[in-house]
């Protein structure tokens, strides 16, 4: 089974990963790049309290994609509900 890494979104500015506050798409991509190097089959779970945090959610999505986490390797949950694209 693939390991799951959670990007937590609780405001419209920061993406939280393992206690680190990431404020830009570049910071998200850099942090996830380190994970991807060791766990290329991992799943990234982007979890937001509300869909109104679209800027931070976007940072998480684009940062994930830049590194290579795409398709089934990325899931998005808004208020605990899976978003299907």
Q: Which segments of the chain are extended strands (E)?
A: 4-9, 15-17, 20-22, 43-48, 74-78, 81-83
Distance CA 40, CA 64 (A): 12
Domains contained in the chain, number: 1
Residue 2 has a pLDDT of 87
The pTM (predicted TM-score) of the whole model is 0.93
20-22 and 15-17 beta bridge pairing: antiparallel
Residue 55 has a pLDDT of 95
Q: Has residue 1 got a pLDDT over 80? A: no
- Domain around 77: 4-83
Q: Has residue 85 got a pLDDT over 80? A: no
Reported as a single tens digit per residue, the pLDDT across 47-70 is 999 989 999 999 999 999 999 999
Give bridge partners of residue 47 from the DSSP assignment. Answer: 8, 77
Reported as a single tens digit per residue, the pLDDT across 9-57 is 999 999 999 999 999 999 999 999 999 999 999 999 999 999 899 999 9
- Give the pLDDT band (50/70/90) at residue 84: confident
What's the CATH number where 75 sits? 3.30.420
Side-chain-side CA neighbours of 10 within 13 Å: the count stands at: 6
């Amino acid at each position: 089974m693939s390991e799951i890494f959670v990007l937590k979104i609780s405001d419209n500015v920061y993406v939280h990963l393992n206690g680190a506050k990431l404020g830009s798409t570049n910071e998200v991509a850099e942090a996830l790049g380190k994970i991807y190097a060791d766990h290329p089959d991992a799943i990234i779970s982007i979890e937001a309290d509300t869909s109104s945090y679209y800027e931070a959610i976007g940072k998480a999505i684009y940062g994930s994609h830049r590194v290579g986490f795409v398709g089934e390797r990325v899931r998005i949950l808004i208020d605990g509900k899976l978003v299907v694209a």
